[in-house]
Amino acid sequence: MDDPGTATLPSRAMTWSQDGIEVVLSLTSLITFIIRSYDVQDRYLEATNLILWIVEALLFLRYLLDWLAARKKTPHVVRRCEVLSLTSFSSSLVVPFLSNGWLPFNFLRAVTVTWPIRRLFEKLDFPEIYENVVLSLADFVAMIFSFAGIIFILENIGNPPGW
């Protein structure tokens, strides 16, 4: 988990609903990754791009608010979760401008979604056995989805031009 020394006072006081919204937005981003990995008609692809832009823009807004509230900016930016979020943001912004393929790094949301789930379980008082089971399942699904995303990239991106 992230270093608690880099957490800010406003981030500690966030409500469970904000973490819940982050989980829903991250899952929506993952669904767009799944849709884009199949050959779909152009109108569905355009709608998927629009949904991805909206979701990633909202998640980027959340990132900016957390960054502005952080006392120490550099440790905040270099945390694992934040680096993966920045990679996902940049990937989704480049999608419509690529003529050959796309940068499907929004599969990294599978890893970042585990942090708000953990924060939710810290705030909500469930029996420890349920917390451990759900968190273990979330980590397992994140690992599988991450491996699948990496394999998808390696198989479908192909060689760079000229190789």
Alpha carbon distance 23, 118 (integer Å): 11
Q: What is the spatial distance between Cα 18 and Cα 10, in angstroms, rounded to a whole number?
A: 12
Distance CA 26, CA 112 (A): 8
Name every residue whose Cβ is closer than 8 Å to that of residue 114 and which is 6 or more positions away in sequence: 135, 138, 139, 142
| Terminal CA-CA length for the chain | 40
Q: What percent of the chain has pLDDT over 70?
A: 80
The average confidence (pLDDT) of the chain is 78
Span 121-143, pLDDT tens digits: 888 878 889 889 999 999 999 99
Q: For residue 160, what is the DSSP state?
A: P
Phi-psi region of 6 (alpha: psi -120 to 50; beta: other; left: phi over 0): alpha
Residue with tokens 């608690």: 4
pLDDT of residue 1: 45
Place of tokens 């708000």: 116
CA distances from 77 to 66, 73, 82 (A): 10, 6, 6
Three-state secondary-structure class, residue 6: helix
Among 40-44, 149-153, 157-161, name the one with the lowest average pLDDT. 157-161
- Give the residue from 152, 156, 149 showing the smallest Cα distance to 112: 149
Confidence of residue 155 (pLDDT cuts 50, 70, 90): confident
Contact 44, 35 (CB under 8 A): yes
- How far from the centroid of its chain's Cα atoms is residue 56's Cα? 8
Mean pLDDT on 141-150: 89
